[in-house]
């Protein structure tokens, strides 16, 4: 079985905002960034123009600066397997670079339901369960991850049980709502 690793510092999914993202502080431990994809440019990056994986947000920022772009905000948005390959679906600029993973396995990626975050050609966004995802050729960006933290507006009880285990409490979690 391939080992799935999640790296906080590896920039599979990052965001460039030409306009400023809106920051909201709910308390001292949570920072929320609100992005209006109809007004702000949200993009995913995995590799540079010669096919090298960025492997860090610092490398991405350097590459963007060199190419005349300004990085306003970046975060990891996916999971990796060995070789810095996306675990599960990854679509960048309408090209499917990694296929949807509907297999079963061990680790948090396979806790159900896992899901897909996507941006369509008209810059509208969505999150759906992996089993519900359909690409009709209009998906500009997408990444698959697991497990979904919220399902139909409710906290995924399976996630709560999983993170209560002592060996999993060291992992922080980023999510898009």
In a domain, 153, yes or no: yes
Confidence check: pLDDT of 116 > 50: yes
In a domain, 174, yes or no: no
- Which class for 82: exposed (0-12), middle (13-18), buried (19 or more C-beta within 10 A)? exposed
Write out the residue range of the structural domain in which residue 111 sits. 4-168
In a domain, 176, yes or no: no
The pLDDT value given to residue 177: 39
In a domain, 177, yes or no: no
Tell me the average pLDDT of the chain. Answer: 77
- Say how far apart CA 143 and CA 13 lie, in whole Å: 8
Residue 121 pLDDT grade (very low, low, confident, very high; cuts 50, 70, 90): very high
The pLDDT value given to residue 156: 81
The region of weakest confidence among 38-52, 99-113, 151-165 is: 151-165
In a domain, 90, yes or no: yes
CB 146 within 8 A of CB 109: yes
In a domain, 95, yes or no: yes
Q: Which residues contact 123 (CB under 8 A, 6 or more apart)?
A: 37, 38, 42, 140
Total number of domains in the chain: 1
Residue 171 pLDDT grade (very low, low, confident, very high; cuts 50, 70, 90): very low
In a domain, 120, yes or no: yes
Give me the mean pLDDT over the 98-117 stretch.
89
CB 119 within 8 A of CB 77: no
Q: Which residues contact 174 (CB under 8 A, 6 or more apart)?
A: 75, 76, 77
Instruction: List, for residues 11-58, the tens digit of each pLDDT value.
Output: 333 333 323 345 554 455 667 778 888 888 889 999 999 999 998 899
Confidence check: pLDDT of 165 > 60: no
In a domain, 48, yes or no: yes
Is the full-model pTM beyond 0.85? no
């Amino acid at each position: 079985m391939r080992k799935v690793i999640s790296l906080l510092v590896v920039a599979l999914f990052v965001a460039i905002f030409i306009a400023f993202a809106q920051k909201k502080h709910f308390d001292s431990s949570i920072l929320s960034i609100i992005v209006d994809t109809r007004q702000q440019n949200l993009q995913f990056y995995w590799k540079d123009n010669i096919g090298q994986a960025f492997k860090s947000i610092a490398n991405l920022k350097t590459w963007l600066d060199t190419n005349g772009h300004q990085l306003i905000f970046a975060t990891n948005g996916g999971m990796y397997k060995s070789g810095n390959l996306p675990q599960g679906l990854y679509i960048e600029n309408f090209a499917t670079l990694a296929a949807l993973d509907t297999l079963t396995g061990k680790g948090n990626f396979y806790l159900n339901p896992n899901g897909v975050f996507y941006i369509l050609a008209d810059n509208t966004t969505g999150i759906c369960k992996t089993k519900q995802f359909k690409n009709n050729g209009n998906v500009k960006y997408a990444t698959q991850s697991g497990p979904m933290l919220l399902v139909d507006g409710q906290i995924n009880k399976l996630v709560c049980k999983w993170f209560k285990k002592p060996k999993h409490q060291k992992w922080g979690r980023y999510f898009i709502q």
